[in-house]
C-alpha cells in the first residue's frame, strides 16, 4: 500500500462547479500536510498547507482528519485555470516528504 494515496482522476467538471479531492495517508506519524499544484510539463508549486483546524484561501479549502487519516481539498466556483494535477504531500518530520501520485482536474467551459 502506498503511504499517500490519491484518486488519479481525471475529474472533469464544468466551470463554476464545486469539486473535492481526498487523499489518504497510512503513517499516523505524519506531522504536516500540503497540497501542491502541478501544471503540465511544469514543476509542482505549493497551493496551500493543511492544518488540523482546516484552512481556507479564497475558493480553496483544505481539511485534515487525523482520526481517519485523510486530507481533502475543496475547490469552489471552478475556473478553467484550475485545470491541473493536484498533489497531496505528507511530511513526516524526518526531512522527507511523501508525495501522492496526484489527481488530475479538467475544468471545461
Partner 1 sequence: NAGVTQTPKFQVLKTGQSMTLQCAQDMNHNSMYWYRQDPGMGLRLIYYSASEGTTDKGEVPNGYNVSRLNKREFSLRLESAAPSQTSVYFCASRAGDSGNTIYFGEGSWLTVV
Interface residues toward partner 1, by CB under 8 A = 8, 31-32, 34, 41-46, 49, 87, 89, 91-97, 99-102
Burial 31-61 (b: 16+ CB within 10 A, else e): eebbbbbbeeeeebeebbebeeeeeeeeebb
Q: How far is the CB of 17 from partner 1 (least distance, A)?
A: 26
Separation of alpha carbons 37 and 45, rounded Å: 5
Nearer to partner 1, 48 or 75 (CB): 48
Nearer to partner 1, 61 or 85 (CB): 85
Nearer to partner 1, 84 or 89 (CB): 89
Q: How far is the CB of 87 from partner 1 (least distance, A)?
A: 7
Q: How far is the CB of 24 from partner 1 (least distance, A)?
A: 14
Separation of alpha carbons 10 and 84, rounded Å: 10
Amino acid at each position: 500500500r502506498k503511504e499517500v494515496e490519491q484518486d488519479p482522476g481525471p475529474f472533469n467538471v464544468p466551470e463554476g462547479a464545486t469539486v473535492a479531492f481526498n487523499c489518504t495517508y497510512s503513517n499516523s506519524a505524519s506531522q504536516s500536510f500540503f497540497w501542491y499544484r502541478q501544471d503540465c510539463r511544469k514543476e509542482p508549486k505549493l497551493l496551500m498547507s493543511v492544518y488540523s483546524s482546516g484552512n481556507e484561501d479564497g475558493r480553496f479549502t483544505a481539511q485534515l482528519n487525523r482520526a481517519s487519516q485523510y486530507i481533502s481539498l475543496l475547490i469552489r466556483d471552478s475556473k478553467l485555470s484550475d485545470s491541473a494535477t493536484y498533489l497531496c504531500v505528507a511530511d513526516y518530520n524526518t526531512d522527507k516528504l511523501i508525495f501522492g501520485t496526484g489527481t488530475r482536474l479538467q475544468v471545461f467551459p
